[in-house]
Amino acid sequence: MSSPSSTWLVTAEDLVLAKLLWTRESPSDVQMRDVRAHSDLDREHIERWAQELGLTDLWRAVQR
């Protein structure tokens, strides 16, 4: 009998937050460029979690 499989999906917003976390740990123009490339995002979600994760400055830098 096989066990049921699970699939995890990441939202674009959570991917942006992950890239901001990676950039904080190891600055990367590539990650920042990827974040800027996403335009149709739930900005309220990102802003709330950016604040929670201490990423507000990076998120604001991307918005400029």
- Tens-of-pLDDT digits for all 64 residues of the chain? 667 788 989 999 999 999 999 999 998 888 888 888 887 899 999 999 999 999 999 999 988 8
Token pair 């149709």 in the structure block, residue = 40
